[in-house]
Structure 1
C-alpha cells in the first residue's frame, strides 16, 4: 500500500464513526417520516384481511422455504465448524445456528448472531476463541452473499422501483461494481492466503481456502434468495422477482443502518413505498406481516423454549458443581 493510499485509508477510518452516525440519523429520520405517513392512511383491518386472504398452497410453500432458509443459514455454522475445527458436535452446531438466527431476525445482530450464539456455544462447553471465530465467520459469509447478489443485481439491471425513487442507473451500477469488487477481493485473499501471512492492526488473520469461500458464497446466496422468494410468493407473484429481490436487499441495509431490530417498520415502509404504483399498501403490508409470522415469529417461538432449557440446565449443572464454571472442551486450531 503506497503512502498516499495508506494516509487516505487512515483518514477514512478516523472519520468513519462520524459518517456512520450521520447515515444512521438520516435513515432514521426518513423511516420515521414514512412510518407516520403510512400509519395515517392505513386501514389495519384491511391489512389483516389481506394477510388472511393469502392462499393455503402459497402459505405452505412459503413455510417450506422458511424452513429451507434456516437450514441454509445453519449450514454456514457447519462450514465454520469445518474451518475452525472446533469440538462442538454437528447437531448442536446446527441447532445453535438455527436458534441464534431466529433471535437475529427478530432482535438484531447484537442479540442474535452475537449474544445468543456466544452464550449457547459457551454454555455448551466451547471456548471464547472458537465462538468468536464462528461469529466472525458467519458475519463474513452472510455479507459475502449480499455482495454477490447485490453486485450482480445492481450492476446488471436497474429495477423499476429504484428508478421510481429517482436513483440514476449510473449510481446503481457503481454500487453494484463496488459490491462485486469486495466479493472478488475476498476470493482473491482466500486464494492467496496459503502463500502469504496477513495481519490487520497487528492481529494475524486466517482466511479459508478458495473452495471454502465458494461454499460460503453458495450458502449465503441461497439464504438471501430464499428471503426474497418468500416475499415474492406472499405477494402472490404480482411483482416481478427481480424487483422483490432488489427491495429486499435495500430494506436489509436500511434496517442495518437505522439499527432497527428485525427491520420492524423499515421493511414495511420500504416495500410499501417501492410498490406504491403496483399494489395497494394493505396488500403489501399483509404479505410482509405473513412473512414475519413464518420467518421470524414462529421460529422464535420454537427457539426461545430451547434456549431457556439450555440456560436452566446450565444453572443446575453449575449449582451442582458448587458454583464453578463448566469445564471447557479442548479446542485445537
Structure 2
C-alpha cells in the first residue's frame, strides 16, 4: 500500500503590506497598499484592512483610492521583502529539505518524513507558524492535505493566521462541492468556458470523461480529469528552476514618441540588469513587451547563441527590438525579460565588440 503523503502549503498573510505595518507601527491596523499612488500606479499588495474595502493586488491605484478614501500608499521595498522571505524559508528547512518555493511569500513542504520526526502535519504547521512569528513578527496561513493541489486550496480557507486540513477521507466530498473557479490551475477564462458547459463544481467536472476533457481543453484536460478525483502525483520539487527574469514599468502618462519610449525603456534595462546579477540567472532570449493605451499587448524577441550579459549589451539589444517596427499606438507599459535559461554547467560565452 502506498504511503499517504503529508503536504503543507504555507502562504504569508498580505506579505508586503504586513512587512510595512511591522516596520512602521503607525501603519498598524490601517488600510495600506504597497504600490504607486499616481494615476498610473498599480497596487502590488493590500493589507487586510484595505481588502475590506475591496482593494486588491493588481488593481489600478486610482480605483483603490476611490474604494478606500483613507488608503495609505507605501512604496515597495523588495530588498526588505527578500530579506524576510529568506528568514521564512530558513524556518521551513528546520523541518524538511523538501521545500518548493512558489514565490517570495509561499511554498510547498513535503513533511511525510520530517527532520523532527513529528507524527502530524498539523503539529508541524503549528510549529512552523509559531517559528515564523518568532523570527519575523508576521503571520502565515497553512493548508494541509495529501497533495499539492489540495494543500494549495486549503491554505486560503482560514486566512489570515489559520490552518485548514483536508484529510484523506474527506477529499472526494471536498472536491465535489468545490466551486470550479476555486480550483488551482483554472483561470477566469477557463472557468467561464466551463460554466457555459454546465460545469460549476467539482462533481460536475468529475462527470466528464478524459476523452471529452482532452477534446475541450487540450493537454490541460488530463490535469482537470485527475484533480476532479483528487489525484495529483506531482512531487514537491526543491530544485525548481527559474525560467526567466524580467522588469517592467507603467508610465505616468502614455508615451506616443518612440524617443520617449526608448528613454524609459533604459530604466527597465537597468532594473533587469540588477535582477539578473542578483539572481545569477543566465539566458539567451530577450523579450520586449509593449502595452498600448488600448491595452493591446505586443512582444518582440531575439534569441542569441550566447548569454545576454552586461547592461550596455541589454540596452543595445532592447533598442534593436524597439526599432523592429512602428508603434501601433501610444504606450502605457514597457517590459524586458530574459529567458531561455542556460544550464549551469555550460561555460559562459560572451561577445566582444571592438
TM range (shorter): under 0.3
User: RCO (CA 8 Å, sep 6+): is it higher in 1 or 2?
Assistant: 1
Larger Rg: 2
TM-score when scaled to structure 1? Answer: 0.24
Q: More strand per residue: 1 or 2?
A: 2
